A and B are shown apart, each in its own frame.
Chain A
Amino acid sequence: MGRIICRIKRVNYLIRKVDVNNMCLAIPGLICEIVSKKRVMVDITGVRREADTSLLEEPLEVGDYVLVHTGFIISKLDPEQAKEDLKLWDEILSS
């Protein structure tokens, strides 16, 4: 048996406009403005959008990374934990 090679080809189907709206996604974004107690502006890859913070107990500040799902912030990135991740991967790399 030889080695299995795999190539991924992006096939462009003609997707109708209605498909553009994809719900089941949570997208990482950066808080760039606090509008009110329950509303903030989030920068998602350059696009600014208002998001609702009523599902989050933790306080938010400008510069926090968050996950946004259908207009609501569902989670805040834990920077300490992210640093731990990177450390763990460095260990894997060097072992």
Chain B
Amino acid sequence: MSEPTQKYRDKKIVDALIKKITQLTEEIGEKIRIMHVCGTHEHDLVKAGLRSLLPKEIDLIAGPGCPVCVSSARDVDEVLWVADNHNVIITTFGDMMRVPGSKESLYQAQGRGVDVRVVYSVSDALKLAEQTPDRDFLFFSVGFETTSCVTAAEVIRTKLPNFSIYSSHKLVPPAMELLVQRDDLEFQGFLAPGHVSTIIGAKPYGFIAEKYNFPVSIAGFEPVDILMGIYSLLKQIKEGTARVDNDYKRYVKYEGNVAALRTLEEAYQVSEARWRGLGVWPDTGHEISAKYSYIDAKKKYNIPELPSTDLQGGCICDEILIGKSKPHQCKLFKKACRPDHPIGACMVSHEGTCNVAATYEEIMWEE
């Protein structure tokens, strides 16, 4: 049995919330753009059909919240370079398999004989390395704070000589700051990711509300959770205030998961990170700290500078990732680029904006 979620999907509560939201939107009387920065939000809100229930003045845009989609081609290239030149077995999460590199994805490389194994967790990758001591293993680790603290736990306690980790971890709050600063994006509030917040808590978003006077609300993933998040954002917009509302209090504490944060701080140091098509963003990445450099694949293997291209054949993943364009504005969408044949990274993961749009086709028309 899993968590009793019925109440969080109750139609009566959803209807009541939609009514409240519509009322608030009318009172505000302007077009409102809200950005979420979580792939699971995009997936769950589209699956529940929430966009169609919201008043049309509200535009819910998808930010760079899917860790698979934001992985740069260079990271895939580097991992494959290690596999080719050092005869290393690659282990990674299933949805990284088809993320396009400059020339090929891990899946395509597997086709020409590179040994790539899909694992559910970094612990499973470790088990594989333990069972095969005569081969070297590399774990290609991606994800935001939620996933990086899991990898961090193994960074600290593992001392296997045939196991290394390639960290492509990214941070959410500093990326949110960079999005607020951009002149080409206009939106009025952030729906902060629930699962990332279970780790980091509500505290790190404080500076966005204070410094930039920008409303933030932390939302869970059931329909009622998401609507509650939107509702409290609208309330802030109407009042003209900016604060961090926590609407996922049953899992998210103000100070976050203290043990996980300690693990993160111990294992990683903040660094710059490459975001697909968006270039290098300062202070948005997590590198394995110097203390544990023996497990860091980037230090273990002398990886050369590799020329790489993130966007191929007219792909506009860069614009989709920051919500500047919608999937159907891409000329490849559902033509050359499909869930079964992705060209851009946003089409790869189940939570990528393009994959969601193609899988749960939203058909809109006027009566």
Give A residues with C-beta under 8 Å from B: 1-11, 13-16, 18-30, 43-46, 52, 54-57, 65, 67, 69-72, 74-79, 81-82, 84-86, 89, 92-93
Q: Taking A21-B120, A52-B123 as contacts, is the C-beta distance between A74 and B146 under 8 angstroms?
A: yes
Whether, in the assembled complex, B102 has its beta carbon less than 8 Å from a beta carbon of chain A, the answer is no
Write the B338-350 contact mask toward A (1 if CB under 8 angstroms, else 0).
1110000000011
Q: Please, how many angstroms separate the alpha-carbon atoms of A52 and B339 in the complex?
A: 33
State which of B95, B98, B363 has its C-beta within 8 Å of the C-beta of A23: B95
Q: Is the CB of A8 within 8 A of B249?
A: no
With contact pairs A21-B95, A55-B153 given, residues A6 and B52 touching in the complex (Cβ less than 8 Å):
yes
A residues near B39, Cβ cutoff 8 Å? 24
Q: At the interface, yes or no: B32 with Cβ under 8 Å from chain A?
A: no
Question: Across the two chains, which residue of chain A brings its CB closest to B350?
Answer: A22
User: Which chain B residues border A26 with CB–CB below 8 Å?
Assistant: 146, 195, 198
**By the criterion CB–CB under 8 Å, are A74 and B149 in contact?**
yes
B5: A residues at CB distance < 8 A = 28
A92 near B17: Cβ-Cβ < 8 Å: yes
A79 to B3, CA, bound (A): 11
Report if B159 contacts A (CB, 8 A).
Answer: no
Q: Do A22 and B49 contact each other (CB < 8 Å), given the known contacts A2-B366, A11-B359, A55-B260? A: no
C-beta contact mask, B353-367 vs A, less than 8 Å → 1, else 0? 000001111111111
Q: Is B230 an interface residue (CB 8 A)?
A: no
Known interface pairs A92-B16, A92-B20. Does A21 touch B124 (Cβ–Cβ under 8 Å)?
no
Contact at B358–A11, with CB atoms within 8 Å? yes
B199 in the interface (beta carbon within 8 A): yes
User: In the complex, what residues of B have CB within 8 A of residue A20's CB?
Assistant: 94
* Selected contact of B362 from candidates A1, A6, A22, A29, CB within 8 Å: A6
Whether A75 touches B251, Cβ cut-off 8 Å, given contacts A6-B49, A23-B147, is: yes
Q: Please give the distance in Å from A54's CB to the nearest CB on chain B.
A: 6
Q: A57-B257, A67-B195, A89-B224 are in contact. List 8 more A-B contacts (CB 8 A).
A: A5-B367, A8-B52, A13-B359, A21-B95, A24-B39, A24-B143, A71-B122, A89-B7
A4-B358 Cα distance, complex, nearest whole Å: 20
Query: A65 to B123, alpha carbons, bound, how many Å?
Result: 22
Does B1 have its Cβ within 8 Å of any Cβ on chain A? Answer: yes
Query: Count of B residues near A, CB < 8 Å?
Result: 72
Cβ of A25: which chain B residues have Cβ within 8 Å of it? 40
Q: Determine the residue in chain B with the shortest Cβ distance to A90.
A: B13
Q: List 21 A-B contacts (CB under 8 A).
A: A19-B95, A21-B94, A21-B118, A22-B95, A23-B93, A30-B1, A55-B153, A55-B263, A57-B257, A70-B93, A70-B120, A70-B147, A71-B120, A72-B149, A74-B146, A75-B257, A77-B3, A85-B249, A92-B17, A93-B13, A93-B16
Which B residues are closer than 8 A to A by beta carbons? 1-3, 5, 7, 10, 12-13, 16-17, 20, 39-40, 46-47, 49, 51-52, 56, 66-68, 93-98, 107, 118-124, 142-143, 146-147, 149-150, 153, 195, 198-199, 224, 249-252, 257-260, 263, 338-340, 349-351, 358-367
Whether B250 and A77, one on each chain, are in contact in the complex, defined by CB atoms closer than 8 angstroms, is yes
| CB-defined contacts of A21 to chain B, threshold 8 Å | 93-95, 118-120
Asked if B147 contacts A7 (CB within 8 A), the reply is no
- Nearest 10 pairs of A and B residues by beta carbon: A21-B94, A6-B52, A71-B121, A23-B93, A28-B3, A75-B198, A70-B121, A57-B259, A2-B367, A82-B250
Contact B2 A30 (CB under 8 A): yes
Interface centre among A16, A69, A70 (most CB of B within 10 A): A70
Tell me whether A69 and B3 are in contact in the complex, defined as CB-CB below 8 angstroms, given that A4-B56, A20-B94, A24-B67 are known contacts. Answer: no
Give chain A nearest CB distance to B284 CB in angstroms.
17
Q: Is the CB of B122 within 8 A of A70?
A: yes
Please pick, from B51, B66, B97, the residue contacting A18 in the complex, using a CB distance under 8 A. Answer: B97
Cross-chain contact B121 with A10 (CB below 8 angstroms): no
Contact A69–B153 (Cβ < 8 Å): no
Q: Pick the contact of A72 from B2, B56, B153, B258 — CB < 8 Å?
A: B153
